[in-house]
Amino acid sequence: MKIYRPLSPFVLTQGFGENKACVDIETGKNVITCDGNNPPSGYRSLYGNDGHKGIDLIANHGQPVYCVADGTVSYIDTKEKSGLDVRVESQFDGVLHRHIYEHLMGYQPMVGDKIMCGDLIGWAGKTGYASGDHLHFQLEKRVGNTWVAIDPLPFMCTTFAPFVKLYPAIRAVLAGILEKWSDIFRRPR
Protein backbone atom coordinates (compact mmCIF):
# COMPACT_ATOMS: atom_id res chain seq x y z
CA MET A 1 0.00 0.00 0.00
CA LYS A 2 1.24 3.46 -0.89
CA ILE A 3 -0.33 6.83 -0.08
CA TYR A 4 0.99 10.35 -0.65
CA ARG A 5 1.17 13.55 1.39
CA PRO A 6 -2.06 15.61 1.48
CA LEU A 7 -0.32 18.92 2.32
CA SER A 8 2.90 20.75 1.63
CA PRO A 9 4.83 21.59 3.67
CA PHE A 10 4.29 18.41 5.67
CA VAL A 11 4.73 19.27 9.35
CA LEU A 12 3.44 16.82 11.96
CA THR A 13 2.11 18.32 15.21
CA GLN A 14 0.56 15.21 16.74
CA GLY A 15 1.24 11.61 15.85
CA PHE A 16 -0.87 8.48 15.82
CA GLY A 17 -1.65 7.18 19.31
CA GLU A 18 -0.44 10.29 21.10
CA ASN A 19 -2.70 11.83 23.74
CA LYS A 20 -1.87 15.54 23.88
CA ALA A 21 -5.29 17.23 23.82
CA CYS A 22 -7.89 17.81 26.51
CA VAL A 23 -11.36 19.30 26.40
CA ASP A 24 -13.23 21.26 29.06
CA ILE A 25 -15.61 18.87 30.87
CA GLU A 26 -18.23 21.55 31.55
CA THR A 27 -18.59 23.03 28.04
CA GLY A 28 -17.05 20.26 25.94
CA LYS A 29 -15.64 22.93 23.64
CA ASN A 30 -12.42 24.49 24.98
CA VAL A 31 -9.56 22.33 23.63
CA ILE A 32 -6.11 22.73 25.20
CA THR A 33 -2.73 21.03 24.77
CA CYS A 34 -2.10 18.77 27.76
CA ASP A 35 -1.12 15.30 28.89
CA GLY A 36 -4.33 13.42 28.08
CA ASN A 37 -3.25 10.53 30.29
CA ASN A 38 -3.18 12.91 33.28
CA PRO A 39 -5.49 15.84 32.41
CA PRO A 40 -5.68 18.99 34.53
CA SER A 41 -8.65 19.58 36.82
CA GLY A 42 -11.84 20.31 34.87
CA TYR A 43 -10.57 18.65 31.68
CA ARG A 44 -10.65 15.17 30.13
CA SER A 45 -8.66 13.58 27.31
CA LEU A 46 -10.13 14.39 23.92
CA TYR A 47 -9.12 10.94 22.64
CA GLY A 48 -9.80 8.62 25.58
CA ASN A 49 -7.49 5.75 26.50
CA ASP A 50 -6.68 4.77 22.88
CA GLY A 51 -5.06 8.08 22.02
CA HIS A 52 -5.12 9.98 18.74
CA LYS A 53 -6.52 7.91 15.85
CA GLY A 54 -4.76 9.87 13.12
CA ILE A 55 -2.09 12.51 12.57
CA ASP A 56 -2.36 16.29 12.80
CA LEU A 57 -0.58 18.46 10.26
CA ILE A 58 0.06 22.19 10.33
CA ALA A 59 -2.07 24.01 7.75
CA ASN A 60 -2.88 27.63 7.05
CA HIS A 61 -6.52 28.73 7.04
CA GLY A 62 -7.89 27.85 3.60
CA GLN A 63 -4.81 25.90 2.50
CA PRO A 64 -5.71 23.31 -0.18
CA VAL A 65 -5.84 19.67 0.98
CA TYR A 66 -5.31 16.90 -1.60
CA CYS A 67 -6.41 13.27 -1.91
CA VAL A 68 -3.68 10.76 -0.97
CA ALA A 69 -4.88 7.86 -3.18
CA ASP A 70 -7.42 7.00 -5.88
CA GLY A 71 -10.84 6.14 -4.49
CA THR A 72 -14.52 7.03 -4.11
CA VAL A 73 -15.93 9.70 -1.81
CA SER A 74 -18.08 7.71 0.61
CA TYR A 75 -19.16 10.25 3.20
CA ILE A 76 -19.13 13.98 3.94
CA ASP A 77 -20.43 15.34 7.22
CA THR A 78 -20.11 17.83 10.01
CA LYS A 79 -19.79 16.52 13.54
CA GLU A 80 -19.11 18.37 16.77
CA LYS A 81 -15.72 16.70 17.33
CA SER A 82 -14.31 16.31 13.79
CA GLY A 83 -15.94 19.32 12.19
CA LEU A 84 -16.41 19.15 8.43
CA ASP A 85 -14.85 15.95 7.15
CA VAL A 86 -14.53 14.08 3.85
CA ARG A 87 -14.04 10.29 3.73
CA VAL A 88 -12.64 8.46 0.71
CA GLU A 89 -12.62 4.67 0.31
CA SER A 90 -9.81 2.93 -1.59
CA GLN A 91 -8.77 -0.66 -2.27
CA PHE A 92 -5.20 -1.64 -1.43
CA ASP A 93 -4.17 -5.24 -2.11
CA GLY A 94 -7.85 -6.29 -2.08
CA VAL A 95 -8.53 -4.71 1.32
CA LEU A 96 -10.86 -1.74 1.75
CA HIS A 97 -9.31 1.30 3.41
CA ARG A 98 -10.69 4.73 4.21
CA HIS A 99 -8.78 8.02 4.37
CA ILE A 100 -10.42 10.81 6.34
CA TYR A 101 -9.73 14.55 6.13
CA GLU A 102 -11.10 16.48 9.16
CA HIS A 103 -11.57 20.08 10.35
CA LEU A 104 -12.02 21.38 6.79
CA MET A 105 -13.54 24.79 6.13
CA GLY A 106 -14.95 23.59 2.79
CA TYR A 107 -14.77 20.71 0.33
CA GLN A 108 -14.69 20.09 -3.42
CA PRO A 109 -16.00 16.56 -4.23
CA MET A 110 -19.47 15.10 -3.66
CA VAL A 111 -20.44 11.71 -2.19
CA GLY A 112 -20.09 9.05 -4.90
CA ASP A 113 -17.44 10.95 -6.88
CA LYS A 114 -14.47 8.97 -8.16
CA ILE A 115 -11.41 10.87 -7.06
CA MET A 116 -7.77 10.51 -8.05
CA CYS A 117 -4.60 10.90 -6.04
CA GLY A 118 -3.72 14.59 -6.11
CA ASP A 119 -7.30 15.84 -6.65
CA LEU A 120 -8.47 18.65 -4.41
CA ILE A 121 -10.39 17.42 -1.34
CA GLY A 122 -11.02 20.80 0.29
CA TRP A 123 -9.50 23.57 2.35
CA ALA A 124 -7.99 23.34 5.82
CA GLY A 125 -9.77 25.03 8.68
CA LYS A 126 -10.59 24.68 12.35
CA THR A 127 -14.12 23.28 12.41
CA GLY A 128 -15.09 20.96 15.24
CA TYR A 129 -12.79 20.45 18.24
CA ALA A 130 -9.72 22.28 17.00
CA SER A 131 -7.42 24.68 18.81
CA GLY A 132 -6.37 26.21 15.48
CA ASP A 133 -6.23 25.63 11.74
CA HIS A 134 -4.83 22.20 10.87
CA LEU A 135 -5.61 18.97 9.05
CA HIS A 136 -6.43 15.82 10.98
CA PHE A 137 -5.66 12.94 8.59
CA GLN A 138 -6.80 9.46 9.49
CA LEU A 139 -6.32 6.10 7.75
CA GLU A 140 -8.59 3.17 8.55
CA LYS A 141 -8.64 -0.46 7.43
CA ARG A 142 -11.85 -2.46 7.09
CA VAL A 143 -11.71 -5.55 9.33
CA GLY A 144 -14.96 -7.52 9.12
CA ASN A 145 -17.72 -4.98 9.72
CA THR A 146 -15.49 -2.54 11.60
CA TRP A 147 -13.17 0.30 10.62
CA VAL A 148 -9.86 0.11 12.51
CA ALA A 149 -7.59 3.17 12.67
CA ILE A 150 -3.98 2.51 11.60
CA ASP A 151 -0.92 4.72 11.63
CA PRO A 152 -0.70 6.27 8.14
CA LEU A 153 2.97 7.29 8.30
CA PRO A 154 4.48 3.85 7.48
CA PHE A 155 2.48 3.89 4.21
CA MET A 156 3.01 7.54 3.27
CA CYS A 157 5.56 8.42 0.60
CA THR A 158 7.48 11.67 0.80
CA THR A 159 5.87 12.86 -2.46
CA PHE A 160 3.23 15.61 -2.30
CA ALA A 161 0.01 14.08 -3.74
CA PRO A 162 -0.58 16.61 -6.60
CA PHE A 163 2.88 15.81 -8.00
CA VAL A 164 1.73 12.23 -8.68
CA LYS A 165 -0.57 13.60 -11.41
CA LEU A 166 2.39 15.36 -13.04
CA TYR A 167 4.62 12.29 -13.38
CA PRO A 168 2.95 10.82 -16.51
CA ALA A 169 3.11 14.21 -18.27
CA ILE A 170 6.76 14.69 -17.30
CA ARG A 171 7.60 11.16 -18.51
CA ALA A 172 5.88 11.87 -21.85
CA VAL A 173 7.82 15.13 -22.33
CA LEU A 174 11.12 13.47 -21.42
CA ALA A 175 10.40 10.55 -23.75
CA GLY A 176 9.77 13.03 -26.58
CA ILE A 177 13.02 14.86 -25.87
CA LEU A 178 15.00 11.62 -25.73
CA GLU A 179 13.43 10.47 -29.00
CA LYS A 180 14.48 13.72 -30.73
CA TRP A 181 18.01 13.45 -29.34
CA SER A 182 18.33 9.86 -30.44
CA ASP A 183 17.15 10.88 -33.95
CA ILE A 184 19.85 13.55 -34.04
CA PHE A 185 22.56 11.09 -33.00
CA ARG A 186 21.35 8.40 -35.43
CA ARG A 187 21.69 10.66 -38.48
CA PRO A 188 24.66 9.97 -40.70
CA ARG A 189 27.33 12.66 -40.58
Active site residues: 134
Q: How many CB atoms are located within 10 Å of the residue 119 CB?
A: 19
What gap in Å lies between CA 86 and CA 51, rounded to an integer? 21
Quick one: CA torsion of 87, 120, 65, 131, rounded to 10 degrees?
-60
CA 113 to chain centroid, in Å, comes to 17
DSSP for 139-177, please give it. Answer: EEEEETTEEEEE-SGGGEEEEEHHHHHHHHHHHHHHHHH
Q: Return all residues near 55 (Cβ < 8 A) that are at least 6 apart.
A: 12, 14, 15, 16, 136, 137, 138, 151, 152, 153
What gap in Å lies between CA 65 and CA 5, rounded to an integer? 9
Task: Tell me the CA distances in angstroms from 98 to 77, 137, 146, one per residue in order.
Answer: 15, 11, 11
